[in-house]
Structure 1
Amino acid sequence: MKKMDESVRFVKNVWALTKSYWQSEEKKKAYLLLLAIIALTLGVVFMLVQLNQWYNIFYSALQNYEKEKIFSELFHFSWLAFIYIILAVYAFYLQQVLIINWRRWLTNEYIDEWLNHKTYYRLQMFGTATDNPDQRISEDVRMFVEYTLRFGIGILKAFTTFASFVVILYNLSGPLQFKLAGMDIHIPGYLVWTALLYSMIGTWLTYKVGNKLVGLNFVQQKYEADFRFAMMRMRENAESVAFYSGEGHEGSVFKKRFTLLLNNFWNIIKKQKQLTWLNSWYSQIAIIFPLVVAMPRYLAKEITLGGLMQISSAFGRVQESLSYFVDMYSSIAEWQAVVERLTGFGLHMKQVKQENAQQDLQRRPGATDAITATDMDVTLPDEAAVLQNVSFTLEPGTNVLIKGVSGSGKSTLLRALAGIWPYVKGTLEIPAENKLMFIPQRPYLPLGTLKESLLYPGTETRTDEELKQLMEDCCIGYLYDKLYMEADWSHVLSVGEQQRLAFVRALIYKPVWLFLDEASSALDEETEAKVYTLLMEEAQQTTLVSVGHRSTLNKYHQKVLYLDKETHSLYWQEQASL
């Protein structure tokens, strides 16, 4: 019963993942391609029937030494094979076209779902049940599309092949007559029942031997992704590892994850070895099995050599169609694992979105550009309090410096204002998102040219001369000649250089509110003074909200908002009282 429930759940999951594309704006093109593939597949089966009939005619001619008939049938075979090849090639080609279109559409859907409402961030920070979303989108989507279409077309071909050849085999096999316990036994079309019994035994044995492959393949993909992620993470933090001389620790982490991967892979190999033994015996016996069971009729001269060869071919086709599960079991196991991972990924994205929709923070636009929080509670995922029942207003034109001991929740407060921290209650009146800009301690620099990094996220444009002047003003002008160089700038530039580029970005966008989370911590005091002064002169409509510990920041802010870690509260300090 449990296995039945799992099978039903699997079919439902496949349908849930499949139907979105076939109900999308591309459905007409998709259905036309699918109909063409089905038509070509049926054509391939029809040609197999023609080739099966050819066996009888050709081998009978060989048996009777009919020279003209032999050469005539060889010519006949040539054009039958030619048509078969054309149908098979275009069936494969159109199937690949459909796979590309489907994968492109589904990948775009998952990317949009992952990026919308900052789901990627919430999964990373709070979605412990999802690992390696990049692999889900890049690898699992590809495998799902390929396997689903391959198995769908494969089942169609197996069914039509069975339906076409079972009649031929039934008519060719004739009745099996024998005595058992004094009774005359008469079994019409006995080769059909023989093929059915043979395939059922093979299918049952395959299932018993390989049913653990589903779980093993599921875990293997996770271990593979974890191993790749560990090495990728070291590459991204290569300098820090080098400073710490942490190669030994990193190596032990790599080897530990690789050992888990190998141990599981060995278990897969053992199961696949058992399946290979079974499939090899099964397929080799299937070659001679129809000849053995049909041999009595041939020796009794009830059928010709051509008839015997046609029976062997028809039996092979029937047995092959009935044994589709046997031949594809290993791939089906991988398919099931892929479906489980994609279904789980989609479910986890939906859960974090629901959690965000159900959060108790009422976020709404205010009548002015002021930011007002009322009765706000901010907690950690374990419900530990960060801020309790706090209310405050940030007025436009009044720069605010947020202070507090380490761990008091300064950065968490900024995340709550940005709308990316889900554990918030209360009311928040805040301007539209396009009026806000947040700069973290280590700014994000995307892959691409330096100019693309400066203009990120790309909603503003500037001429090269304008960028050159801004870069000079922010003490980073020496990088101007690299404006169109493509690189991973987060690894090429120091943190201080990255922070100066972030100030260039702020001067480009000039938001109404600019939140700086220790955004000048890697700058010397002289450069910090220069970029802050530049902001106040060139972006006079921008109000600054800074998180920082340096006393040098005081003069650029009119007020200080102090977070008390002990009482989970906050209060204002006037600059004059500092």
Structure 2
Amino acid sequence: MSLSYGLCALAPAPWRAAGAGGGGGMRRNFPDSDLQRRLWRSRGFARRGRLVKSRPGDGIAKGVAFALWKQVSKTPRKLSSKSHGLETLESSERELNAPPRNVAIKSAVDERDGLDQCTPDFEPPSEQQRLGSDFNTLVKRFWRVALPYWSSEDKVEARWRLGTVLALTLATTGISVGFNFLGRDFYNALSSKDQEQFLKQLLYYLGAFVGGIPVFVIRDYSRDTLALRWRAWITQHYMARYFENRTFYNIQSQSLIDNPDQRIVDDLNSFTTTSLVFALAIFNAVIDLISFSGILYGIYPPLFGVLIVYSIGGTALSVALGKGLVGLNFMQEKREADFRYGLVRVRENAESIAFYAGESSEINLLLERFNQSFANYSQLLIASRNLDFFTSAYRYLIQLLPAAVVAPLYFAGKIEFGVINQSFSAFNHILSDFSIIVYQFQSISSFSAVVDRLGEFSEILDQQNTLSRPVTYLGSASEAIESSQTEGGSSLRPRISILDRRETIQPVLNGQNESSRKVPLLMMEHLTLNTPQYTSKLVEDLSVVVNQGEHLLIMGASGSGKTSLLRAIAGLWAAGTGTITRFLRSESEGVDRVSRPDNSEAIPGDTANHAVNGAVTSSSLDISQEIFFLPQRPYMVLGTLRQQILYPIWTERGFTSPLSPKSNGPVTSSAYTDATPVGLKPQPSDEELTDVLERVSLGHLMSSCDGLDANVEWASVLSLGEQQRLAFARLLISKPRLALMDESTSALDEENEMLLYGEIKKSGITYISVGHRTTLKQFHSNILKISKLDGGGCNWTFGPLDRKPDLEVMGSPN
């Protein structure tokens, strides 16, 4: 016996000596359940999925359903010897060192101007719906996520690689069958004390190890590289859909799903790797059953019946004992995410907490979240302990069953000693396939959560891209507007129509004489603006025109709807009635384009205008170069100083997608476009970038931050005032026709404020400002005052302002 165990230590990781009888018959096995559980927890793999409340039978339904998907061991294995002489398989260091899951940090949506977050237009799944999906739904969601890649531009390469992995899997099964017969002959020679035959079989064994190990290693490597290639494509595919038509904004502002970033980064990675492991396990199981069932049945038919009864009984008991783990694992993810999120908030708001001297309060709040995680984890340990009692007994009892069944035949002289070893090997091979739920209950439940989350994410992406897709009919503007507000009958709420026009028209504006026509940039006609859920009305029947060179100041009490009006102009909010016309630069075409929800199919990643079911889609790139938004707290991108200034019109040259042909990777998703310069305007030179920094009094950054290629945490390094000036640098370098500025100088002194407005005026940019300072009046031509609605009637007034002093002759502050 000891010799057989010693030989077993020489076996490659995918094989294991067959039970107490030892021998060369090799089989796949599963790691010790306690070790496996610890590894799962260290990676967060067993806690994938959102917070749910388990209903009776949920765990059973998911466990039984995904028993069909087979084993979930994801990485190559290595051997570990224990003191009692039985080997178990450990996860490799790659699993131990896997990075923790990302936790989505949900930034609070700006609640100014009456932002309501009650019931969104697109209803997120209810708590009852989030409790779990049935088997049919999970299967549909699995195919919804999995199929696009295998019919994508990379399908030829993907299918060729998959065929290679399947061929290698067939080879590994053949090697295992060979070891089964080698073990029989080896122990026959040992029991008959035939030293010559023993040495001969020993050499065969060693030769099989040398030839077999590379096949197993190459199979696992090929599988992992295919999973990586699949992940690269599907990540870009989901990112394109996530950013298309501002879907990311709608998901965040309406709280449609939790942690979309976690689903893209972590769940997609788990899905691609685990799906391939499942598929190969199913394929391998079929080959195993064909190969080893005949061997086992030929040795002793009752042994095959014992195996079936043992595996079915063990599966039923493991599901009954472990069903509580599903809900506890989901809950643990939520608890740990809450605790981690609290720590991240401390990092992001460190200065404010320090000013408040709020350290004690923060500690108490964080410890409260940690205690919730601790209490849930204690329950999880108890449930895991109870399951381990059964799985440990189940795992070690199989070492006795084959011997107990076939030993009478050996004692009666009907079989040789080597046949006992052969029965161990075949029995364990088949039992490992039948006992998937027993060995991998937590992993199966976790993968079902991954499929559920990604399927839900995909459905919401499709829904939001349909609802927010900007389209117009090629008829008249009035017909398109009427259609956009009434299509679908009374079941659809009215929506604001956004009309983008390229043809130059010159209407009579603001009561001017017929002869004094001006170039309009923005026209709001009978605009009534509601919160996204139509629970509050912010602006009533607003009609205003903004002409080129006539700067508009919007003032009013906090919460009156000033910022919400900018959202409507930008196309972020569409709840209400009326029309917003945005006049783009005149080009050869004169097409009216109305932004409204439509059911036509999108063309992801395309920045041109395309006909879609008789309509044309409006490019967000066109709008970003015509209308530029400056928020109160500017967005600082992760990148160099050059990227900060070029954002969002241009991206830096030199970036190559990991999926592009130039990097020898797979073909990219059709929804993905390389990050080459996407602006229609020529990209500014370094001299122009340096000059614009000087114009906004940020020239010192070139020396203090080591030039345009400096890459630091800009949101932490720069003060709010410096960030606002950097946002003005973006505006000046982009040179749009119209700028929307939401208290964009609130952190600046009056001198810098005067400097920046003067630079905008000299650049020929027309701007609309929202603010409370009376000093802003001198920089604007007209003023729009909005008050809170109290009863019926209009809540706004519009009129001219006297400008002083003349901005054209202003210089820099001393």
Aligned to 1:339: 451
**1:577 Cα deviation after fit:** 11
1:108-147 residue pairs with structure 2 within 5 A? 108-127=236-255, 129-147=256-274
Does residue 423 of structure 2 align to residue 423 of structure 1? no
Provide the C-alpha distance between the structure 1 equivalents of 2:251 and 2:373, rounded to a whole number of angstroms.
24
In 2: Cα distance, 1:228 partner to 1:426 partner? 45
What's 1:231 paired with?
343
User: Which residue number corresponds to residue 99 of structure 1?
Assistant: 227
Shift of 1:509: 0.9
| Among 456, 469, 474, the residue aligned to 2:691 | 469
Q: Indicate the residue corresponding to 1:444 in structure 2.
A: 635
TM-score with structure 2 length normalisation?
A: 0.66
Is 2:712 aligned against 1:487? Answer: yes
Say yes or no: does 1:200 pair with 2:312.
yes
Q: Which amino acid is 2:695 matched to?
A: D
Instruction: Find the aligned partners of 1:84 and 1:325 in 2 and give their Cα distance.
Output: 29
What is the count of residue pairs matched by the alignment?
560
Q: Which residue in 2 is equivalent to 1:500?
A: 725
Match of 1:574 in 2: 800
Give the share of equivalent positions with the same residue, in percent.
Answer: 34
Q: For structure 1, which segment, 362-371 or 489-498, has the greater mean C-alpha deviation from structure 2 after superposition?
A: 362-371
The alignment partner of 1:388 has SS state of: strand
What aligned pairs does 1:134-533 form with structure 2 within 5 A after superposition? Answer: 134-173=261-300, 189-357=301-469, 360-366=495-501, 367-368=503-504, 369-382=520-533, 383-430=535-582, 431=584, 432-433=622-623, 434-457=625-648, 458=650, 459=679, 461-481=683-703, 482=705, 483=707, 484-533=709-758
Q: Which stretch shifts more, 549-558 or 377-386?
A: 377-386
Task: Report the alpha carbon displacement of residue 113 of structure 1 after superposing the two structures with TM.
Answer: 1.6
SS at match of 1:219: helix
Unaligned runs of 5+ in 1: 174-188
Contact 2:777 2:803 in 1 (8 A): no
Indicate yes or no: 2:152 matched with 1:24.
Answer: yes
Structure-1 separation of matches of 2:302 and 2:522? 84
CA distance in structure 2 between the partners assigned to 1:323 and 1:305 by the alignment: 27
Q: Which amino acid aligns with 1:58?
A: F
Q: 2:168 & 2:362 partners in 1: Cα distance?
A: 54
Equivalent pair of 2:742/2:770 in contact (CA under 8 Å) = yes
1:71 to 199, 210, 222: 199
The residue that corresponds to 1:182 in the other structure is none
Residue identity matched to 2:220: F
Matches of 2:161 and 2:248, distance apart in 1? 34
Q: Which amino acid aligns with 1:561?
A: L
2-side partners of 1:199 and 1:510: how far apart?
71
For structure 2, the residue ranges without an aligned partner over 5 or more in a row are 1-56, 66-132, 470-491, 505-519, 585-621, 651-678, 805-814
TM-score, with normalisation over the residues of structure 1? 0.92
Letter paired with 1:153: L
Change (3 A) 1:157 1:62: same
Which range is displaced more, 435-444 or 236-245? Answer: 236-245
User: CA offset at residue 549 of structure 1?
Assistant: 1.4
Summarize the Cα distance change of 1:154–1:76 in structure 2 as closer, same or farther, 3 Å threshold.
Answer: same
Distance 1:350 1:226 in 2: 29
**CA deviations over 1:414-467 (Å, ceiling 9, x no partner):** 011111124243222113502010000111111122222122122463333333
Q: Please, which moves more after superposition, 305-314 or 377-386?
A: 377-386
1:354 Cα deviation from its structure 2 partner: 4.0
Distance, in Å, in 1 between the alignment partners of 2:200 and 2:521 is 92
Question: What is the CA-CA distance between 1:408 and the residue it aligns to?
Answer: 0.7
After superposition, the C-alpha distances for 1:358-389 in whole angstroms (9 at most, x for unaligned) are 77222221234521222322112442111123
Q: SS of the residue aligned with 2:134? A: helix
Stretch deviating more after TM superposition (451-460 or 353-362): 353-362
Are 1:439 and 1:502, in contact at CA under 8 Å, matched by a contact in 2? Answer: yes
Give me the whole-angstrom Cα distance separating, in 2, the residues matched to 1:71 and 1:233. 67
Residue by residue, what CA displacement relative to the aligned partner does 1:335-366 show, whole Å, maximum 9, x if unpaired?
11222222222333334334435772222212
CA displacement 1:487-546 (0-9 Å, x = unmatched): 111111111111111111111111100111111111111111111112111x12x11111
In the alignment, the residues of structure 2 paired with residue 199 and residue 377 of structure 1 have an alpha-carbon distance, to the nearest angstrom, of: 67
Which protein, 1 or 2, shows the higher relative CO under an 8 Å CA cutoff with sep ≥ 6?
2
Could you tell me how far apart the structure 2 residues matched to 1:131 and 1:550 are?
38
Between the aligned partners of 2:549 and 2:788, the Cα distance in structure 1 is 28
- Amino acid paired to 2:789: E
Q: Stretches of 4+ moved more than 6 A in 1?
A: none
Change (3 A) 1:560 1:508: same
Quick check: 1:355–1:422 contact (8 Å CA) kept in 2? no
Change (3 A) 1:24 1:254: farther
Q: CA deviation at 1:251?
A: 2.6
Are 2:15 and 1:15 aligned?
Answer: no
Q: Distance in 2 between matches of 1:278 and 1:18?
A: 35
Aligned amino acid, residue 511 of structure 1: P
- Paired AA for residue 554 in structure 1: K
Instruction: Give the alignment's Cα RMSD to 1 decimal.
Output: 2.1
Q: How many angstroms apart in 2 are the aligned matches of 1:501 and 1:427?
A: 33
> Is residue 740–residue 768 contact of structure 2 (8 Å, CA) maintained in 1?
yes
Tell me the CA shift for residue 298 of structure 1: 0.6
Q: Name whichever of 255-264 and 204-213 sits farther off.
A: 255-264
The 3 A distance-change label for structure 1 pair 363 and 381 is closer
